[in-house]
Structure 1
Amino acid sequence: MRAVEPGGRVMLGMARYSTLFLALVIASPALYAGFVTHQLDVQTALLRLLIAVPVAAIMLGVFRMITRGYGRKPDEPRKPPEPGEGQPEPGADDPLRAEAVAGEPFPQRRSEDG
């Protein structure tokens, strides 16, 4: 289900837990430097977290777009061909047929070729 803005545009899902968690991971060095070691101003650390949220939303949106069709069944499932007259039933005890492809054999290496 997609969230659609009133203008008809699709939102990126910035309020999803996965987006907020990825933004927290992206901004974690800045948050650590701001709140734990005090090497960075707290406002700067929070600003970096604020910037990381749309970046994470775009990253996850692209990932969701790429993986959207995975795991779905195809529109029309393939049916095995129906056996016609003179063709044996699939799964019968017929021998397996295979084709051999003729080609040049690999050259053998000898120890003298060095």
Structure 2
Amino acid sequence: MLGMARFSTLFLALLIASPALWAGFVTHQLAAQTALLRLLIAVPVAAIMLAAFRAVTRGYGKRPDEKPKPAGENGPLKAEAVAGEPIPQRRAEDA
């Protein structure tokens, strides 16, 4: 649900509510309950902001004619080394 428990969401909420937290816990100009309430309100606000940002940038870097492929559609991912000499394999008899 909008990724409220993501690190980025919690960090942005902490950043948004940092003036209230500073005033509540360091300078004591604000009640601690009020500062924590403002942090609690900042979490869904940050989640909505980041969800909108992710929606806008979702297609960035993709060609318009490309459709996203589900994972594993082309079979398993294979990789091979292309540079350097192959490493000789040791047999159990050689050891």
Give TM-score, length-normalised by structure 1: 0.55
Greater RCO between the two (CA within 8 Å, min separation 6)?
Answer: 2
Q: Deviations over 1:41-64 (max 9, x none)?
A: 000000000000000000000000
Partner of 2:51: 61
Letter in 2 for 1:29: P
Structure 1 gaps, min length 5: 1-10, 77-114
- Structure 2: distance between partners of 1:45 and 1:17: 20
- Structure 1: distance between partners of 2:33 and 2:62: 45
Question: How many residues matched?
Answer: 66
Identity of aligned residues (%): 79
Give 1:38 shift.
Answer: 0.1
Say if 2:36 is the partner of 1:24: no
Give 1:72 shift.
Answer: 2.5
Structure 2 gaps, min length 5: 68-95
Give TM-score, length-normalised by structure 2: 0.66
Say if 2:37 is the partner of 1:47: yes
Letter in 2 for 1:15: A
Give 1:19 shift.
Answer: 0.3
Q: Report the secondary structure of 1:26's partner residue.
A: helix
- What CA RMSD, in Å, does the superposition of the two structures yield over aligned residues? 1.3
